[in-house]
Structure 1
């Protein structure tokens, strides 16, 4: 599943780069590439360090306990390196999104064309001077989508016990937006491909545990700094979008720009769960920081489908989504995931 997630992310970045050329999406794709590179570098370094410890152990130069301690120390160091280095890249991405929303990244909608004239005999004459030509707004446009917010397990309108509002989600993807009416800008069909990262964070010192086909919350037995279950969904979203951007007229020709006014979208999504992982951070009896990651099957539903809507202005909107299927199979019966946050649709 990790390979699937990686290739989907690569596909999203590739599509975004093709859509936007040498602009925002290419820079976002470069940041994603850096994150993958950092992770690989640190894991490769850890493998070299662990192999060196195993060699010492084979030569009886260190004890088994010493070997385990060294491996644990190296693993914690590399995990910290990944967290710190990736954190820098995530800050770059956040700053990039902010610059785009603030209009600091220029997307030029004008092109140049060469003036061509003819002499009295009909021969073509080329003039070195150029003129601006208004670029025609296409009926179908494309966007890079980034969203983030909070998650909440709910049942019959009530929140599940044991979970905090600090549970969170973020979503990255690409979409296409097609104007449905030939001579009016109001109705659009919006569709695409997204990865939804959902985090569920238990209250107190609880963590997730699996007993067969049952997933439950259990006491960890010590103070927990961070505990979260992350599950990733690959979905196809589809919305009917109402765009109140007014048409433009230039040189007696009508143009239909998008994402220049208020927008409302209603629709849904459907897809597959591609990865599950629990992350626990705590201090051991020696007050050392410990971070455990456990990948596996936490009985999260393999299929996901739900309703979603957004309302906003320009590229920014308030975003809500609700999973119609229950989060877990056989566990937390009747509980679904509700998400509320902000969304950026960047042309």
Structure 2
């Protein structure tokens, strides 16, 4: 099961759980109403011996109405006091900077932005500090794919070195590196106003690498489709940290991550790359 499929399954389970809870809440409200109104003239009439089952149900349904859920507002996201928590999904794109610039398209490790996805699942919290100041903090997982623009790009892990080279005798279809992390973040945020408010935050995040691999899809010299997958650390930094910025309005939020630590370990001969990620928070 690939990363996208896993995330889809998680989201479906969350939706099913919410739907089930809403249905159970409706049944509980109806049960409580029946208990509170068991002596009412309407209820007695609805259960008279000469009343059919369909008529009983119709009379009860007309009398009982579920309590409407409160309309969503910004206080559920940025509370007046205390802490509110929720599950967020992060969807975006990855790239990296080399000497403060995106690598040239002629480079073997330059990325195809459309095939370099960032997917995250977080338990996020917002704590009111003072006035418009809040602390956005939380933890979660992220899956980051670095899809190389040259689909014949290969990675060679040598003795304390990482080398990118091009495999010439194939027809490449996909070449990518995938890295997953366990992350934490703390972002001081200003929220201006109670309802549909504009907000902006800037803080730090850190991560611990838990998985990494490279994957190649290609046609060999005989035209047969092949797929290779290699799991290894590839001298990717075990720990990372960097800056995180967020900006939002109403239910819409954007995030931007810049890693101070480089992708590969400092004492390894490898390209010096600082990953960046940006996207939407759902």
TM-score, length of structure 2 as denominator length: 0.69
8 Å Cα contact 1:208-1:229 kept in structure 2: no
In the TM superposition, residue 242 of structure 1 has moved relative to its aligned partner by 1.9
Work out the CA distance in 2 between the residues paired with 1:326 and 1:296.
Answer: 18
- Work out whether 1:172 is the aligned partner of 2:90: no
- Name the counterpart of 1:231: 179
8 Å Cα contact 1:233-1:304 kept in structure 2: no
Q: SS in structure 2 opposite 1:299?
A: coil
- Name the counterpart of 1:213: 160
* Structure holding more helix per residue: 1
Match of 1:193 among 124, 128, 139: 139
- Work out whether 1:317 is the aligned partner of 2:253: yes
The change in CA–CA distance for 1:263 and 1:105 in structure 2 (over 3 A counts) is farther
Work out the CA distance in 1 between the residues paired with 2:7 and 2:142.
Answer: 17
8 Å Cα contact 1:276-1:296 kept in structure 2: yes
**Mapping for residues 131-210 of structure 1, pairs under 5 Å:** 139-161=82-104, 162=107, 163-164=110-111, 165-166=113-114, 167-181=116-130, 184=131, 186-204=132-150, 205-210=152-157
Q: Which runs of 5+ in 2 are unaligned?
A: 39-63
Cα deviation code 1:60-105 (max 9, x no counterpart): xxxxxxxxxxxxxxxxxxxxxx46xx866655667899x9xxxx99
Q: Which runs of 5+ in 1 are unaligned?
A: 1-81, 116-125, 248-259
8 Å Cα contact 1:169-1:196 kept in structure 2: yes
**Mapping for residues 47-86 of structure 1, pairs under 5 Å:** 82=1
Work out the CA distance in 2 between the residues paired with 1:107 and 1:157.
Answer: 50
Work out the CA distance in 2 between the residues paired with 1:229 and 1:274.
Answer: 14
In the TM superposition, residue 132 of structure 1 has moved relative to its aligned partner by 5.9
The change in CA–CA distance for 1:228 and 1:308 in structure 2 (over 3 A counts) is same
The change in CA–CA distance for 1:210 and 1:340 in structure 2 (over 3 A counts) is same
Q: Superposition RMSD on alpha carbons, in Å? A: 3.8
8 Å Cα contact 2:187-2:204 kept in structure 1: yes
- Name the counterpart of 1:45: none
Work out the CA distance in 2 between the residues paired with 1:245 and 1:311.
Answer: 14
- Work out whether 1:326 is the aligned partner of 2:262: yes
- Work out whether 1:243 is the aligned partner of 2:197: no
- Name the counterpart of 2:59: none
- Name the counterpart of 1:257: none
- Work out whether 1:281 is the aligned partner of 2:217: yes
8 Å Cα contact 1:277-1:295 kept in structure 2: yes
The change in CA–CA distance for 1:107 and 1:188 in structure 2 (over 3 A counts) is farther
- Name the counterpart of 1:336: 274
Q: SS in structure 2 opposite 1:203?
A: coil
8 Å Cα contact 2:197-2:249 kept in structure 1: yes
Q: How many pairs does the alignment contain?
A: 232
Q: SS in structure 2 opposite 1:231?
A: strand
The change in CA–CA distance for 1:243 and 1:224 in structure 2 (over 3 A counts) is same
Cα deviation code 1:236-284 (max 9, x no counterpart): 111112223427xxxxxxxxxxxx4322221111121111100111122
Moved more, 279-288 or 169-178: 279-288
- Name the counterpart of 2:56: none
- Name the counterpart of 1:267: 203
In the TM superposition, residue 336 of structure 1 has moved relative to its aligned partner by 0.5
8 Å Cα contact 1:194-1:237 kept in structure 2: no
Work out the CA distance in 2 between the residues paired with 1:322 and 1:105.
Answer: 39
